[in-house]
Chain A
Amino acid sequence: MEHIVIIGNGISGVTAARHIRKHSSKKITIISAETDYFFSRTALMYVYMGHMAFEHTQPYENDFWKNNNIALVKGFVKTIDTEAKTLRFESGDSLKYDKLIIATGSKSNKFGWPGQDLQGVFGMYHKQDLEALEQFAPNNTICKRAVIVGGGLIGIELAEMLASRNIPVTFLVRESSFWNGVLPNGESQMINRHIKSHHIDLRLSCNLKEIKSDENGRAKSVIIEETGEEIACNVVGLTAGVTPNIAFVKSSSIETNRGVLVNRFLETNIPDVYAIGDCAEQRDPIGNRRPVEAVWYTGRMMGEIVAQTICGNRIPYNPGHWFNSAKFFDIEYQTYGWVFAKPKENHAHFHWKHEDDTKCITIEYNTLTNEFIGINTFGIRMRHEVFNTWLNEKRDVDYVIDHLSEANFDPEFYTRFEEDIKTTYKNQMQNI
């Protein structure tokens, strides 16, 4: 029987395993060095905040794997011998495979800052990071202040986590406004204000120069590049993005760049070796997508596709319209299609913001054809399916504005803003 080995038990690897099991009775083994069972990485924050216990982040009961005949191995793969189709573990064990899927995800970026490996300095990605956080920042007497370096999605989540235990947070953001490489200005500014309203010491246009150590090798302060200011702290969170977790692949004959290089079929240069999820890098980027996409959804989607290929139905990875979501403290964010921080050539933005400063939308559209390109929505839930249909049908921006109520996904009895949005839109158009 063909033996499919998957390295990594995150969403990509586990989705691949589940779908291979759906289509076939091949032998499946999932290897992880991180945890015994699959858990939802995106939910780690809720464990620290006390919303959930760790076991609640595990989508399947522990006997699920046995019932579905999926073997789980805990171990750290050191090298891949693609000639002998054998994995060698750090422990000295080895494992033969017929087909291999690399789904090892990411690791937190470290940009060579002095002191980046001190105790009390960590990212927020792995379960071990959560355990470190629990050790170094259990409360605000042990951790009197935390400094977060890097203003992205993980950084703001870490800020929310620490704030939930009343730990003062200084949040260093390199950009002039939070996540403004992705978010248009109006949205980014609104999130700045929202962060500050949660008593986070938000420092924009601030870079980390170094992390200082105390006599025990623990972080005691950070120095800011621009001002030279020293901020005393007990914990430093490094959340300046993630990078593919593929150090162990480098010694093999599998071709890598930032990630493991794959074609549209998620195949590497070596036959029978595939890579999916955060650690895969597309040789030819797909549309506006980046070659490495460290996103939950794309990991899941790649898992679904690679399972098809492995089970004999070789199909290309063909993601539909871009979508994503996040939550910034109390404000939910969803996006469908493309909204760029600055409108692309011949594109423009329509921006509407509610006076309470927690809800806004931005629509990107083509000024020549009026075609709707994408929407960012903050504080108002919208339907994935409706926008997917509109994007397929290449609707124009007027149609989208007129039919926005069809896309509303807020709970019943919520105040609706479609009319207000429509009025704002009509007024803006008249002024042009």
Chain B
Amino acid sequence: MNHRLQESMSLAKPDAKDLTGKQKVSLFIGILGLFILALALFNINLPNQGLVLFFALGCIAVGIVLFSNDAYLNKSKGIKNDAVWFKSISSRGVLGWATGIVLTSFYIVLYFFPQLLGLGKNGVSNTGLIALFDPLSNLLSGRPASQWFVYGSLYTIAILFFGYKFILKYRHNRYQQLRTGSVMFFQLGFAFLIPEFMYRLNSNLPYYDLKSIWPLNYYIFDEWSVKGFLSNGNLGLALIVFGLLSIFVITPILTYKFGKRWYCSWVCGCGGLAETAGDSFRQLSSKKLSAWKLERWLIHTVLVFSVVMTTAMIYSYLGYDSNKFWLTKNLFIGLVIGFLTILFLAVMIFKRNELGKDVKYGAIGYFVVIGLLLIMHFTGTTNEVFFIKGSTLRSAYGLYIGSIFSGVIGTGFYPILGNRVWCRFGCPMAAILGFQQRLFSKFRITTNGGQCISCGNCSTYCEMGIDVRSYAQKGQNIVRSSCVGCGVCSAVCPRGVLKLENGSVKGRINSNDVLLGNNVNLIDLLKR
């Protein structure tokens, strides 16, 4: 029996629930903005590009703001999920699929056919959509736009204005507001404006979004990137040192104190888009056990791939002679293997119990990486690793992981698979942070004694597909590596059962001592 009530099969009017008049007008204004961009795409000659661009982006922004105001400001503060599963866009209806297809096509064009967007190559000036963005790019960095500038601008607008929508939706919840303000700030400042200004200061510096950390930023240690930094004096050196500190020092400290949420739902750009523009799709993530299994294999495979790939990349451009540069191939491979071994042993000795059954998988992962690195070391040549050209490995990673996984599937499939597909199944950074969150962090979601009524709102609205309810109804705290700490489970809980907390590491996973309401300790009974 189909429990999607009032389902409409109509293509013309797929939504069972009507939009208000104001919402229709807002939608029209927003779509007008997109329509102007589409006109530019088809190379229709638009006069006064700067003004047209401003008007088009303005329409999109105003449309979203007016829509949000009408949707939330006239209602009482509180959870606003009415009709989520009746709306075509948010329940994999006709509009959802259509949006998914449009987004996916956009990503394919963006990554693989930028000339269709009007990218001028080899000094030829831009046309079409990209040319429309030239005035803005010139204003910020003094150079013509690229497809990445167009993408970055639209991305930033999406985070800023859907962020506004999210803040209104959760105007009773300060955690949600601050978190959203934070991702809006980091996207606008760190990902969008600062790199453009940096280019103005020093046009030889590689594009560097300071908050994008290896291995999410998989190109930071590429030869061109490292050379770019090193050939730019102290500023460049400082940037690459910051890149190293980010992953080896800053990240572990912050994750220990706050869990991976400090990054994934407060800072990260991918997370930022997921939490704002993607918020309407969070309920579409699969909560099946099978999806969880797939997730764990997939994300850790990507992590292994990215570690090996990065090592191979760096390895391939290092020399053998320590007189030329202190870091040689031999020293480097030794350092990597040494670091991984210390990490592995430390985890196996101190955190064996927490890992439980996963010890085996951790060991498999470790030996696969070490094995691959050794094979590479003994079979590699100056320009070949794994018998293929080093750069081929890097392009394969960039293509399959960087483009297809994170962009085409990760974002294009928002309306089908939910808004955190990339973060959940593919992001190697999330894998590292999650590993640490599971083993060395003060963060957990506390369950409030026996108050859970198993309603399922928490699980339904978990964008990472965690079956939060399965823990909450047993009175257990939730300590999961994939949790990005968005706090929505806690927000939608109608009984006040869940709270995101940083507390003492001891007793964080409390399955042995839970309060459910009976005046006997059932766990003691179980042990008898």
Contacts and interface: CB of A to CB of B under 8 A. Distances in A.
Interface stretch (B239-247, B333-341, B402-410, B494-502): B494-502
A53 B515 contact: no
A109 interface: no
Contacts, number: 174
Interface stretch (B82-90, B321-329, B380-388): B82-90
Contact of B451 (A19, A59, A320, A323): A323
A51 B81 contact: yes
Nearest to B526: A22
A23 B527 CA distance: 10
A411 B81 contact: no
Contacts of A23: 526
Interface residues on A, range: 35 or more
B520 A53 contact: no
A59 B456 contact: yes
Given A52-B85, A411-B500, A323 B175 contact: no
A85 interface: no
B495 A413 contact: no
Contact of A384 (B76, B515, B526): B515
B175 A50 contact: no
Contacts of A409: 446, 448, 496, 499
Nearest to A157: B494
A297 B497 CA distance: 13
B519 A320 contact: yes
B49 interface: no
A293 B454 CA distance: 18
B175 A318 contact: no
A71 B482 CA distance: 34
Given A320-B518, A323-B517, A411-B490, A308 B453 contact: no
B357 interface: no
Contacts of A317: 518
A334 B451 CA distance: 9
Interface string B430-464: 00000000000000001011110111110110000
A61 interface: yes
A71 to B, nearest CB: 21
B506 interface: no
Contacts of B470: 59
B472 to A, nearest CB: 10
Given A53-B4, A164-B82, A46 B519 contact: no
B82 A332 contact: no
A296 B453 contact: yes
B399 interface: no
Specify the main secondary structure of chain A where it touches its partner.
mixed
B451 A325 contact: yes
Contacts of A40: 453-456
A267 interface: no
Contacts of B82: 49-51, 164
Given A51-B81, A51-B85, A330-B76, A61 B289 contact: yes
B454 to A, nearest CB: 4
A384 B518 CA distance: 13
Most B Cβ at <10 Å: residue of A319, A413, A415: A413
Interface in B73-123: 76-79, 81-87, 91
Contacts of B48: none
B460 A59 contact: no
B501 to A, nearest CB: 8
B525 A313 contact: yes
Contact of A42 (B173, B454, B499, B520): B454
Interface in A301-322: 301, 304-305, 308, 313, 315, 317-320
B419 interface: no
Given A320-B517, A330-B76, A413-B174, A43 B83 contact: no
A47 interface: yes
Interface string B349-372: 000000000000000000000000
Contacts of A74: none
B156 interface: no
Given A50-B85, A59-B456, A412-B175, A315 B520 contact: yes
Contacts of A383: 448-449
B457 A52 contact: yes
B345 interface: no
B22 interface: no
A311 B490 CA distance: 36
The 6 closest A-B pairs by CB, nearest first: A384-B449, A330-B78, A381-B496, A54-B3, A43-B455, A50-B83
Interface of B: 3-6, 17, 76-79, 81-87, 91, 172-175, 178, 283, 288-289, 446, 448-451, 453-457, 459-460, 469-470, 473, 487, 490-492, 494-496, 499-501, 515-520, 522, 525-526, 528
Given A50-B86, A323-B449, 10 more contacts: A52-B456, A53-B3, A56-B459, A301-B517, A304-B518, A323-B450, A323-B451, A330-B79, A412-B500, A415-B174
16 contacts: A43-B453, A50-B5, A50-B87, A51-B79, A52-B456, A297-B450, A300-B517, A301-B516, A305-B520, A313-B525, A315-B520, A320-B518, A330-B76, A330-B172, A334-B451, A411-B490
